[in-house]
Amino acid sequence: MKLYDIAHSRAGDKGDTLTLSLIPYAGEDYQRLLREVTADRVAHHLRHNVRGEVKRYELPKLQALLFVCERALHGGVTTSLVSDAHGKCMSGVLLDMDLP
C-alpha cells in the first residue's frame, strides 16, 4: 500500500526549508500515520533530496502530521539549478512511500 492510498499532502517552501503536511482521508487512519510515518522513515524516503534534519510535528486536533525538512531544496527555489526542487513536487514524492 502506498501512502497516497490513505492520505494527501500539502507542501510549502521557504528558502532551503521544506514543509510537508500529511492528512489522512479518514480519521481512523491518523493512528496508523502516527505509528508508521516517522521522521526517520520520511528522511530515508526523501534522502536523495533532503540533506538536513527532518522533524515531525503531530497535530492531533487536525489529525495531521507536519514534517519540516531542512536543507531540502538545493539552496532554495530562487537559487537552485535543480529542476522542480520545490515543495509541490516533494509532496508527491512523500505520498509514494510504501506502508507496511
Residue-range domain boundaries for the chain: 3-74+87-95
Region 38-43: what's the mean pLDDT? 97
Contact 87, 20 (CB under 8 A): yes
- One-letter identity of residue 51: R
Q: How confident is the model at residue 78 (pLDDT cuts 50, 70, 90)?
A: low
Q: Could you give the CA distance from residue 87 to residue 11 in angstroms, rounded to a whole number?
A: 5
Counting residues of the chain whose pLDDT is more than 70, the rounded percentage is 84
What's the CATH architecture for 3-74+87-95?
A: 2-Layer Sandwich (3.30)
Q: What pLDDT, in 10s, does the model give residues 59-77?
A: 999 999 999 999 987 666 6
Residue 54 has pLDDT above 80, yes or no: yes
Q: Is the pLDDT of residue 82 over 70?
A: no
